[in-house]
């Protein structure tokens, strides 16, 4: 979430060697307006919660069933969850991500979280409808067309069932995960989603620790994914929630940690500031462990391009993007997109920057 790094270079240099003050960058009224729009959300402080260790399907490459978090016993006591949410609120958490394994299998616990903490997102496979009284954003994972889902997730007619459950639901965002093998299939998926008025965003498969299977990306597949997302943004502007800077950040040959230095506790030794201080990843038994805490635990950091990771890692780097108007506009688009994907009721604006802007200190790929 938007926990900002310390101001190391609030005034930077553009490629033309001109120094830009932040106030000069904001002199453009369109940039200023977008900045005012997104900065209202700087109060968001996130933690994540495994609601249950159970899932109704079993996907290849699932990071939940890596590491020891999968062995935590479920705590199904509603009052224990209510106490946890109240305690979380007291320590400054304002936004929750309910994940797991599969949160839709414990709707009564999700309901309690929503009663105590009204901002958040549920990550689900979308096969079981989550009651509409739970007003979180709902991210529905899509890993390809139905044939691919049948092979990788061992579930039949998956997209059809997901769309039937969530078409017309303002909470829903479909998250298409690009693996090395499903890139072209995204066209049929986004077309179907568009026909049903559903919103789509994109994730890049990030390998769990030790995974070396055929879902893992290569340099070629990252470049092809990049080209494909750019094309989809043009073809389906009403359905697709994404930005040009998101394309660069998530399909770069370097992962998010290399590009931006990940701020989650697992990779951030600082216990005093930002996410390093506030973020916790609770297991299904309500325990947590700072050494493994991040939004996608047991993902290989060197391969991490996960959309949930970017929502914190890239958005936190305001100051290093406040170097010139183009770079700052690219970053504003990223944050605007992330808020539209993660916060109920937030409407994405038109992207300000359609160029591929390089992450500070790196090339464009």
Binding flag, residue 62, ligand SF4 (CB under 6 A) = yes
Per-residue contact flags (x/-) with ligand SF4 for residues 140 to 159, judged by CB under 6 A: -------------x------
Of 41-49, 98-106, 314-322, 341-349, the window that binds ligand SF4 (rule: CB under 6 A) is: 98-106
Binding flag, residue 341, ligand SF4 (CB under 6 A) = no
277: which residues sit within 8 A by CB, 6+ positions away?
A: 270, 271
Binding flag, residue 130, ligand SF4 (CB under 6 A) = no
- Distance, in Å, from the CA atom of 299 to the CA atom of 282, rounded to the nearest integer, reads 16
CB atoms within 10 A of CB 337: 25
- Distance, in Å, from the CA atom of 145 to the CA atom of 137, rounded to the nearest integer, reads 23
- Beta-bridge partners for 141: 175
- Beta-bridge partners for 201: 175
Nearer to ligand SF4, 64 or 338 (CB): 64
Do residues 251 and 305 touch, judged by C-beta distance below 8 A?
A: yes
Cα 29 → chain centroid? 29
Closest CA to 321 of 2, 3, 7: 7
Nearer to ligand SF4, 308 or 352 (CB): 308
Binding flag, residue 211, ligand SF4 (CB under 6 A) = no
Buried b (16+ CB within 10 A) or exposed e, 13-22: eeeeeeebeb
CB atoms within 10 A of CB 154: 12
First to last CA, the chain: 25
Report the nearest approach of ligand SF4 to the CB of residue 220 (Å). 22
Nearer to ligand SF4, 298 or 324 (CB): 298
Binding flag, residue 55, ligand SF4 (CB under 6 A) = yes
Nearer to ligand SF4, 148 or 329 (CB): 148
Near ligand SF4 by CB under 6 A: residue from 256, 322, 332, 340 = 256
The 8-class DSSP code of residue 299 comes to B
Of 56-64, 128-136, 210-218, 227-235, the window that binds ligand SF4 (rule: CB under 6 A) is: 56-64
Of 132-140, 156-164, 260-268, 349-357, the window that binds ligand SF4 (rule: CB under 6 A) is: 260-268
Binding flag, residue 243, ligand SF4 (CB under 6 A) = no
Q: Percentages helix, strand, coil for the chain, rounded to the nearest 5?
A: 40, 10, 50
Nearer to ligand SF4, 207 or 233 (CB): 207
Binding flag, residue 101, ligand SF4 (CB under 6 A) = yes
Nearer to ligand SF4, 125 or 337 (CB): 125
Near ligand SF4 by CB under 6 A: residue from 3, 38, 59, 186 = 59
- Distance, in Å, from the CA atom of 275 to the CA atom of 3, rounded to the nearest integer, reads 6
Cα 299 → chain centroid? 14
- Beta-bridge partners for 49: 98, 282
Per-residue contact flags (x/-) with ligand SF4 for residues 291 to 330, judged by CB under 6 A: ---xxx--x-x--x----x---------------------
Write out the residues near ligand SF4 by the rule CB under 6 A. Answer: 55, 57-59, 62, 64, 100-102, 125, 153, 256-257, 262, 264, 266-267, 294-296, 299, 301, 304, 309
């Amino acid at each position: 979430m938007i926990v900002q790094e310390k101001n190391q270079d609030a005034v930077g240099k553009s490629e033309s060697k001109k120094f830009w003050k932040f106030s000069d960058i904001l002199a453009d009224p369109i940039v200023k307006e977008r900045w005012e729009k997104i900065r209202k959300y700087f109060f968001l402080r996130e933690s994540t919660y495994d609601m249950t260790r159970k899932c109704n399907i079993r996907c290849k490459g699932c990071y939940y069933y890596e590491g020891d978090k999968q062995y935590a016993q479920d705590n199904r006591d509603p009052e224990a969850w209510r106490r946890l949410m109240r305690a979380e609120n007291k320590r400054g958490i304002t936004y929750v991500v309910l994940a797991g394994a599969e949160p839709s299998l414990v709707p009564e616990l999700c309901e309690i979280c929503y009663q105590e903490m009204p901002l958040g997102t549920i990550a689900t496979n979308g096969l079981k409808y989550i009651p509409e009284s739970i007003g979180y954003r709902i991210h529905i994972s899509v890993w390809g067309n139905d044939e691919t889902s049948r092979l990788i997730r061992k579930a039949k007619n998956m997209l059809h069932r997901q769309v039937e459950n969530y078409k017309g639901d303002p909470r829903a965002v479909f998250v298409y995960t690009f693996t090395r093998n499903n890139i072209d299939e995204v066209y049929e998926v986004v077309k179907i989603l568009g026909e049903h008025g559903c919103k789509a965003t994109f994730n890049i498969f990030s390998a769990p620790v030790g995974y070396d299977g055929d879902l893992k990306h290569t340099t070629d597949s990252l470049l092809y994914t990049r080209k494909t997302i750019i094309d989809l943004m043009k073809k389906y502007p009403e359905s697709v929630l994404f930005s040009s800077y998101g394309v660069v950040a998530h399909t770069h040959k370097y992962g998010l940690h290399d590009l931006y230095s990940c701020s989650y506790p697992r990779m951030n030794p600082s216990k005093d500031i930002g996410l390093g201080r506030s973020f916790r990843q609770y297991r299904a038994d309500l325990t947590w462990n700072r050494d493994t805490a991040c939004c996608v635990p047991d993902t290989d950091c060197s391969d991490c391009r996960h959309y949930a990771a970017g929502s914190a890692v890239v958005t936190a780097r305001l100051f290093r993007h406040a170097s010139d108007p183009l770079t700052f506009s690219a970053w504003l688009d990223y944050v605007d997109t992330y808020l539209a994907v993660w916060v109920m009721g937030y409407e994405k604006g038109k992207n300000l920057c359609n160029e591929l802007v390089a992450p500070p200190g790196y090339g464009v790929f």
